[in-house]
């Protein structure tokens, strides 16, 4: 055997030994977008309007985090062809290391309800003071934090398997109503107590920072909910069969959670034909 052949054989043997040592240890790498490549900015002029308030937030359990690096984005009601439909809460890979999600929210403005879309950014901004649970208490996010380019999960409010995800801590969240342990429906729009109509100082500061658009999986997640008839509030009575998913668009994957039968059944305030004016239909068709 030549020296070159021996060297090649040694490399092959070393690779085989490493493969054997790592057998049974499956590591899913987390590769968010590098810091140097900026994601697209959010289009914050894109707003939906409705003539009636959205249903209360449904009560549901948070699915387990599928892998390290994913962040929780709470579910909310959106407006579609049949009125309100539920976009499930889900775990999402952020577009870039260090970014946090600011949820969208509905707010009463005069005689109409206006939707303000969510966005990514360096800090969590104003989302109406609405308690979405899962760490979104109405101000900021207490479900986790970034530390040295890795996301740490607060196991007090985030459903993570500590056997698979080791980057965790436990910190009590004061006045947090988790989606896991409450039997009380919560208001879903600004204008209903105890939602907060004005941003605080930190949220005002975050509003002056760049805001980045939802990721492609988030957009697909929204469309999957919009086209699923059973996500419509007029059909599920405000208790969507898919309330939370482990990943965007995974409506049939293991770990999906349904809304609990809490509170009164939802009934729209007006006949469906009276709910959407021509201007709202045009806006919805233009968006999609």
What are the backbone angles phi and psi of residue 214, rounded to the nearest 5°?
A: -55, 150
Residue 173 CA to residue 175 CA, distance in Å, equals 6
Q: Give residue 68's pLDDT.
A: 94
Which residue carries 């920072």 as its tokens?
209
Which sequence spans correspond to the domains of the chain?
A: 49-287
| pTM of the predicted structure, to 2 decimals | 0.80
Q: Give which of 147, 156, 145 is closest to 123, Cα–Cα.
A: 145
Residue 12 CA to residue 15 CA, distance in Å, equals 5
Residue 93 and residue 70 in contact, taking contact as beta carbons nearer than 8 Å: yes
Q: Give residue 195's pLDDT.
A: 76
Coil, helix or strand at residue 105: strand
pLDDT tens for the chain, 288 residues long, are 444 443 444 433 334 333 333 333 233 344 555 555 678 888 877 679 999 999 999 999 999 999 999 999 999 999 999 999 999 999 999 999 999 999 999 999 999 999 999 999 999 999 999 999 999 999 999 999 999 999 999 999 999 998 888 899 999 986 555 454 456 678 899 988 777 888 999 999 999 999 999 999 999 999 999 999 999 999 999 999 999 999 999 999 999 999 999 889 999 986 444 444 333 443 444 443
Q: Give residue 233's pLDDT.
A: 97
Q: Give residue 287's pLDDT.
A: 40
Coil, helix or strand at residue 267: coil
Would you call the peptide bond into 194 cis, given omega within 30 degrees of 0 as the criterion?
yes
Q: Give which of 47, 54, 51 is closest to 233, Cα–Cα.
A: 54
Q: How many CB atoms lie within 10 A of CB 113?
A: 23
Strand order in the sheet with 71-73: 71-73, 89-92, 244-245
Q: Give residue 270's pLDDT.
A: 60
Residue 96 CA to residue 119 CA, distance in Å, equals 13
Residue 77 and residue 225 in contact, taking contact as beta carbons nearer than 8 Å: no
Q: Give residue 163's pLDDT.
A: 86
List the alpha helices (DSSP H) in the chain.
Answer: 3-22, 201-207, 216-226, 233-236, 272-275, 278-287
The dihedral through the CA atoms of 233, 235, 237, 243 has a sign that is negative
Residue 102 and residue 127 in contact, taking contact as beta carbons nearer than 8 Å: yes
Strands 89-92 and 244-245: parallel
Residue 222 and residue 76 in contact, taking contact as beta carbons nearer than 8 Å: no
Residue 137 CA to residue 128 CA, distance in Å, equals 11
Task: Tell me the two tokens of residue 248.
Answer: 């965007």
Question: Residue 102 pairs with which residues in a beta bridge?
Answer: 119
Residue 43 and residue 213 in contact, taking contact as beta carbons nearer than 8 Å: yes
């Amino acid at each position: 055997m030549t020296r070159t052949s021996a060297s090649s054989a040694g490399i092959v043997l070393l690779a085989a030994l490493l493969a054997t040592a790592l057998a049974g240890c499956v590591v899913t790498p987390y590769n968010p977008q590098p810091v140097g490549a900026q994601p697209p900015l959010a289009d914050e002029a894109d707003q939906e309007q409705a003539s009636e308030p959205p249903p209360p937030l449904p009560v549901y359990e948070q699915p387990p985090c599928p892998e390290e690096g994913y962040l929780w984005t709470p579910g909310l009601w959106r407006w579609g062809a049949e009125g309100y439909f539920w976009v499930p809460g889900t775990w999402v890979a952020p577009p870039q290391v260090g970014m946090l999600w600011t949820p969208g929210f509905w707010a009463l403005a005069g005689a109409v309800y206006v939707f303000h879309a969510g966005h990514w950014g360096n800090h969590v901004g104003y989302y109406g003071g609405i308690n979405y649970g899962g760490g979104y208490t109405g101000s900021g996010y207490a479900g986790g934090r970034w530390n040295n380019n890795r996301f740490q999960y607060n196991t007090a409010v985030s459903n993570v398997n500590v056997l698979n995800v080791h980057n965790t801590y436990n910190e009590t969240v004061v006045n947090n109503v988790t989606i896991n342990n409450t039997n009380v429906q919560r208001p879903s729009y600004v204008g209903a107590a105890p939602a907060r109509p004005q941003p605080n100082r930190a949220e005002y500061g975050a509003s002056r920072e760049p805001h980045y658009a939802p990721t492609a999986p988030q957009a697909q997640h929204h469309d999957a909910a919009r086209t699923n008839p059973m996500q419509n509030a007029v059909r599920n009575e405000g208790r969507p069969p898919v309330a939370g998913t482990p990943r965007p668009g995974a409506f049939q994957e293991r770990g999906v959670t349904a809304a609990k039968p809490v509170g009164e059944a939802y009934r729209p305030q007006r006949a469906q034909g009276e709910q959407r004016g021509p201007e709202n239909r045009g806006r919805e068709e233009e968006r999609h």
